Amino acid sequence: GAVVSQHPSRVICKSGTSVKIECRSLDFQATTMFWYRQFPKQSLMLMATSNEGSKATYEQGVEKDKFLINHASLTLSTLTVTSAHPEDSSFYICSAKHRDRGYHEQYFGPGTRLTVT
Amino acid sequence: LAKTTQPISMDSYEGQEVNITCSHNNIATNDYITWYQQFPSQGPRFIIQGYKTKVTNEVASLFIPADRKSSTLSLPRVSLSDTAVYYCLVVPPGGSQGNLIFGKGTKLSVKP
């Protein structure tokens, strides 16, 4: 149990276009979802925290108008990278907090590899 | 949030026991210690978490001394498939936002 999926797993887009990444908790309800970004050979960096039905909280230095997050239900959060540029190319990973479990045990998706050309 | 320090890399051979130690000198009274494993191009996977003493599951053991300023993840009889990056995190209990702050992790390389 406690499976998180992401779609797409890999996407290539042209500079200036927007890309939407979906994060779904498949067999549990997630009150909170987190979005991370990971550059090659680096650690995960938290971008934002989203709670179902409310606005996301962004980490310092993350542009909220560029990285739009929507947490429309207890099983789905989306990250839209608007007007993507090559420097946005990265590995984007979401995680979800199980509604009935502590924050110290989060479940991560498999990640989405974004390449902006 | 408490900062963690762990070795950047470790090498081991198949069948050996691997112990990865993490320092968290500023851990707060209610914080949990949590370890995640990450394979290349995959999301992290929760391995084990504990508060004090020893915790064991089917994957690993976690040893936490009385002062809780460090912890040791123990992987028994590693195999090639255990080659991954291991992250030690200190996490506040439920009721807070529970943001997971990942450090650099320890890259474990298991050789045949």
Residue B67, φ and ψ in degrees, nearest 5: -80, -10
Q: Residue A111: its chain B contacts at CB < 8 A?
A: 41-43
What is the distance between the alpha carbons of residues B76 and B60, in angstroms, rounded to a whole number?
7
Which pLDDT score, from 0 to 100, does residue A103 have?
A: 60
pLDDT tens sequence across B38-51: 999 999 998 999 99
pLDDT tens sequence across B62-101: 999 999 999 999 999 999 999 999 999 988 776 445 567 8
Which pLDDT score, from 0 to 100, does residue A51 have?
A: 86
CB-CB under 8 Å, A46 with B99 = yes
Closest chain A C-alpha to B49 CA, distance in angstroms: 8
pLDDT tens sequence across A73-83: 899 999 999 99
SS3 B25: coil
CB neighbours of residue A10 within 10 Å: 11
B96 touches chain A (CB under 8 A): yes
CB-CB under 8 Å, A108 with B49 = no
CB pairs under 8 A between A and B: 71
Parallel, antiparallel, or unpaired for β B106-111 and B9-13?
parallel
Which pLDDT score, from 0 to 100, does residue B97 have?
A: 55
Degrees (nearest 5) of the Cα angle A16, A110, A52?
A: 75
Q: What is the Cα A25 distance to its own chain's centre?
A: 12
pLDDT band at residue A8 under the 50/70/90 scheme: very high
CA dihedral B99, B36, A72, A5 (to 10 degrees): 170
Which pLDDT score, from 0 to 100, does residue A82 have?
A: 96
Smallest CA-to-CA distance from A18 within A59, A87, A78, A66 is with: A66
Q: Residue A106: its chain B contacts at CB < 8 A?
A: 46, 98, 100
Most confident of A33-42, A43-52, B5-14, B90-99: B5-14
Which pLDDT score, from 0 to 100, does residue A31 have?
A: 83
Query: In chain B, where does DSSP find H-type helix?
Result: none
Degrees (nearest 5) of the Cα angle B71, B72, B78?
A: 160
